[in-house]
């Protein structure tokens, strides 16, 4: 049951200020989606919260404590991260990778106990990765690796989970399965969840709140219906008139049509528009 | 041990996979321990004088307290066993273990299968120190050994310290920069060594022999000096073997799993460098062990560092004791440099493993 709070956070790579001024809060049991164009700073925010890069300005609080003052081992018991592209050592088995999630719970001289093994095995059950347990990483597909990494985060038993594009490599069935899983985990265990997502439709379907980031600043935040509207999409993505209500649940849906960018020839737009 | 723990899981049901490799790794450690004992005994019997096993057992037992055995062998036999053969065999085992475990550590730390203990300048630093020791017009004796090992040890540590400081960026140590700085400084020191060798005149033979490695001057003094470094270094590395596993995930993920990456990197770097420097300083830069032994272990038992490191310690020790046995007996009374033997005997065996296993991915 922990709250995540960012206060006017700024992050720079060298002199290049990528994240300029980000302030938001995430409450327990809530899924917050970070959306925004490429290079807007979504991944950088995830890295800053997990203390992989240092802040130029501002503060990040997890459970009321400054993230940068929590020892790394303690932080890993509070916070688990699913990175954008998981590069895994190719000769390890999936089970060994998931077992690594238990690391923050083990001391220097400790070995995984039966309880650690059982938690690992349960995490693999929830992510449907048990059949992969004895396969080695280089034999797994992109989607399988993604599920193994999510299982590793579950084995970590954190109170808060950050996910950076968790559905990027997945087909639509696994996209929905993974996000359903995260949603139910979040509700059952009152987790604090932040997901960086490219797919605005998935973001609208699964997130309780969205934060639209543009050029390192919060452009809009609120419920999906308030954030994904024609005006915001035009201002941030430069795409016009493509937001519709979802036919089943009325949440916003973004449907693109060809010829809507600056590279389109005028003829394409007219022809397709007529058809 | 891990296998028994799997059965009574707290969900009430056993984990229905066998994890067979876990069992084979534990059997591997036990098997290699037995093999190591046999090899030590075997290597003690061979040499310019053949000594029967009974004499070896008798001599060792008679040195234990509360054991009273009347020797049935001449006292020269006892001298050969205790003062000539055993220190040499033990030193070879220690150096083999040190080089193999340091190689495995560097490979894991740099996530690079081509890494060996000499990648970041240890060998060239040690060689330069040793060559300077050879060329100095005087010699100094202290603590039972000469100036050469001392200078070699200092040279190894000094060159790694330079590489470390060159590669550091702020508070972090990017491994790619470290490797490149090591290779560049190594080339620089290597060329100085080559120049000094060419101008070394009659001392050239001694220098070249040192560079290829030899255990011919091994005595208990050497063992006593090298032992603490290697034992402490290996224990530290073994403590961090789970961290080394997780560091294979690349640094960001390792940090997110609670590893203090920069601290672990520094600890492992210092430990691996110290044991390599200690090993190299007395017996010269023996090649091949540090790169091939860890890979052979990976091929047979997999990449988990918690088993890879202890298995490398044992395999490295067995391998170098056997290589030294060949080096001192094959062309007796002439000694072959051990670096030649490690490659001639080790490379075909490694290639055989590589082909027989046909495992494409093992790193």
pLDDT at A266: 61
Size (chain A), residues:
275
Pairing of strands A57-62, A252-254: unpaired
Say if residues B1 and B26 touch (Cβ distance below 8 Å).
Answer: yes
For chain B, the distance separating the N- and C-terminal CA atoms, rounded to the nearest angstrom, is 25
Interface with chain B: mutation pick from A99, A117, A136, highest number of B CBs within 10 Å:
A117
Surface-to-core class of residue B180, CB atoms within 10 Å of its CB (0-12 exposed, 13-18 middle, 19+ buried): middle
Q: How many other C-beta atoms lie within 10 A of the C-beta of residue B36? A: 18
Judged by CB atoms closer than 8 Å, whether chains meet at B256 and A96 is answered as no
**Which residues in chain B touch residue A121, judged by CB atoms under 8 angstroms apart?**
9, 11, 15
Torsion of CA B198, B203, B206, B212, to 10 degrees: -10
Residue A138 has pLDDT above 80, yes or no: yes
Query: What gap in Å lies between CA A258 and CA A241, rounded to an integer?
Result: 12
**Which residues in chain A touch residue B240, judged by CB atoms under 8 angstroms apart?**
108
Query: What gap in Å lies between CA A48 and CA A42, rounded to an integer?
Result: 10
pLDDT at A193: 95
Say if residues A258 and A271 touch (Cβ distance below 8 Å).
Answer: no
Facing residue for A136 by CB, picked from B242, B253, B361: B361
Residue B100 has pLDDT above 90, yes or no: yes
B361: contact with A, CB 8 A cutoff:
yes
Judged by CB atoms closer than 8 Å, whether chains meet at A121 and B362 is answered as no
**Which residues in chain A touch residue B2, judged by CB atoms under 8 angstroms apart?**
111-112
User: CA B88, B94, B95 angle in degrees (round to 5)?
Assistant: 90
B142: contact with A, CB 8 A cutoff:
no
Which tokens is B198 given? 């060419």
Facing residue for A118 by CB, picked from B2, B10, B111: B10
pLDDT at A15: 87
Strand, helix or coil at A50? coil
pLDDT at B359: 62
Least confident of A127-141, B85-99, B128-142, B256-270: B128-142
pLDDT tens digits, residue range A67-87?
999 999 999 999 999 988 778
Residue A275 has pLDDT above 50, yes or no: no
pLDDT, mean over chain B: 85
Query: Which domains does chain B carry?
Result: 29-357 (1.10.3470.10)
Judged by CB atoms closer than 8 Å, whether chains meet at A91 and B257 is answered as no
Residue A228 has pLDDT above 80, yes or no: yes
Size of interface A-B (CB pairs under 8 A): 103
Residue B9 has pLDDT above 70, yes or no: no
Residue A117 has pLDDT above 70, yes or no: yes
Facing residue for B9 by CB, picked from A47, A106, A114: A114
pLDDT at B54: 79
Query: Band of the pLDDT at B195, cuts 50, 70, 90?
Result: very high
Please name the residue ranges forming H helices in chain A. Answer: 42-49, 72-78, 94-99, 114-126, 142-155, 172-189, 200-206, 224-227, 230-237, 266-274
Facing residue for A121 by CB, picked from B15, B255, B260: B15
Query: B246: nearest CA in chain A?
Result: A100
What average pLDDT score do residues A252-268 get? 73
Tokens 């995984």 found at: A112
Residues of A with CB under 8 A from a CB of B: 47, 50-52, 72-77, 79-81, 83, 86-92, 95-97, 100-101, 103-104, 106, 108-109, 111-115, 117-118, 121-122, 133-134, 136, 138, 156
pLDDT at B361: 66
Pairing of strands A31-35, A57-62: unpaired
Residue A274 has pLDDT above 80, yes or no: no
Judged by CB atoms closer than 8 Å, whether chains meet at B19 and A95 is answered as yes
Question: CA of A148, closest CA in chain B: separation in Å?
Answer: 13
Q: How many other C-beta atoms lie within 10 A of the C-beta of residue B171? A: 7
pLDDT at B189: 93
Facing residue for A72 by CB, picked from B11, B17, B255: B255
pLDDT tens digits, residue range B204-230?
888 888 888 888 877 888 888 889 999
The proportion of chain A whose per-residue pLDDT surpasses 90, expressed as a percent, equals 53
Judged by CB atoms closer than 8 Å, whether chains meet at A89 and B249 is answered as yes
Q: State yes or no: ipTM above 0.95.
A: no
Judged by CB atoms closer than 8 Å, whether chains meet at B255 and A104 is answered as no
């Amino acid at each position: 049951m922990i709250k995540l709070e960012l206060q006017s956070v700024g992050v720079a790579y060298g002199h290049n200020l990528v994240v300029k001024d980000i302030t938001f809060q995430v409450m327990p049991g809530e899924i917050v989606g970070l959306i925004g164009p490429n290079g807007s700073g979504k991944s950088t925010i995830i890295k800053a919260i997990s203390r992989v890069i240092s802040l130029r300005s501002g503060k990040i609080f997890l459970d009321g404590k400054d993230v940068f003052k929590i020892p790394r081992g303690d932080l890993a018991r509070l916070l688990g991260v699913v990175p954008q592209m998981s590069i895994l050592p190719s000769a390890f088995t999936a089970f060994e990778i998931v077992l690594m999630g238990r690391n923050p719970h083990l001391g220097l001289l400790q070995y995984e106990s039966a309880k650690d093994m059982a938690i690992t095995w349960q995490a693999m059950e929830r992510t449907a990765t048990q059949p992969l347990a004895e396969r080695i990483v280089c034999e797994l597909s992109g989607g399988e690796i993604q599920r193994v990494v999510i299982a590793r985060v579950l084995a970590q038993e954190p109170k808060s989970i950050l996910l950076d594009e968790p559905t990027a490599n997945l087909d639509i069935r696994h996209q929905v399965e993974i996000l359903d899983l995260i949603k139910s985990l979040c509700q059952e265990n009152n987790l604090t969840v932040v997901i960086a997502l490219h797919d605005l439709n998935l973001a609208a379907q699964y997130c309780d709140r969205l934060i639209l980031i543009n050029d390192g600043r919060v452009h809009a935040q609120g419920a999906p219906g308030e954030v994904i509207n024609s005006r915001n999409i035009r201002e941030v993505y430069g795409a016009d008139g493509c937001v519709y209500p979802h036919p089943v649940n009325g949440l916003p849906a973004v449907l693109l049509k060809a010829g809507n960018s600056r590279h389109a020839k005028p003829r394409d737009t007219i022809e397709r528009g007529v058809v | 041990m891990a296998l028994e723990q799997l059965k009574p899981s707290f969900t009430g049901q056993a984990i229905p996979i066998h994890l067979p490799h876990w069992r084979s790794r534990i059997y591997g450690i036990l098997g290699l321990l037995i093999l190591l004992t046999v090899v030590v005994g075997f290597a003690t019997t061979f040499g310019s004088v053949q000594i029967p096993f009974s004499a070896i057992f008798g001599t060792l037992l008679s040195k234990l307290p509360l054991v009273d055995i009347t020797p049935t062998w001449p006292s020269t036999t006892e001298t050969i066993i205790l003062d000539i053969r055993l220190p040499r065999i033990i030193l070879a085992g220690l150096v083999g273990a040190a080089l193999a475990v340091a190689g495995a550590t560097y490979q894991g730390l740099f996530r690079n299968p081509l890494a060996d203990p000499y990648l970041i300048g240890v060998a060239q630093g040690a060689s330069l120190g040793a060559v300077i020791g050879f060329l100095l017009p005087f010699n100094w004796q202290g603590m039972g050994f000469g100036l050469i090992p001392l200078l070699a040890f200092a040279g190894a540590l000094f060159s790694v310290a330079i590489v470390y400081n060159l590669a550091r960026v702020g508070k972090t140590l990017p491994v790619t920069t470290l490797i490149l700085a090591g290779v560049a400084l190594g080339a620089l020191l290597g060329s100085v060594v080559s120049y000094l060798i060419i101008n070394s005149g009659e001392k050239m033979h001694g220098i070249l022999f040192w560079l290829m490695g030899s255990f011919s001057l091994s005595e208990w003094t050497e063992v006593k000096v090298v032992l603490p470094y290697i034992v402490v270094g290996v224990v530290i590395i073994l403590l961090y073997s789970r961290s080394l596993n997780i560091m294979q995930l690349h640094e960001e993920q390792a940090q997110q799993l609670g590893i203090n990456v920069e601290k672990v990197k520094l600890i492992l770097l210092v430990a691996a460098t110290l044991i390599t420097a200690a090993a190299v300083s007395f017996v010269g830069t023996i090649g091949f062990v540090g790169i091939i032994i860890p890979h052979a272990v990976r091929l047979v038992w997999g990449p988990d560092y918690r088993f890879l490191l202890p298995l490398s310690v044992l395999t490295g020790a067995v391998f170098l004791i056997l290589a030294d046995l060949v080096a001192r007996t094959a062309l007796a009374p002439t000694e072959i440099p051990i670096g030649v033997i490690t490659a001639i005997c080790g490379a075909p065996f490694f290639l055989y493993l590589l082909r027989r296993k046909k495992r494409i991915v093992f790193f």
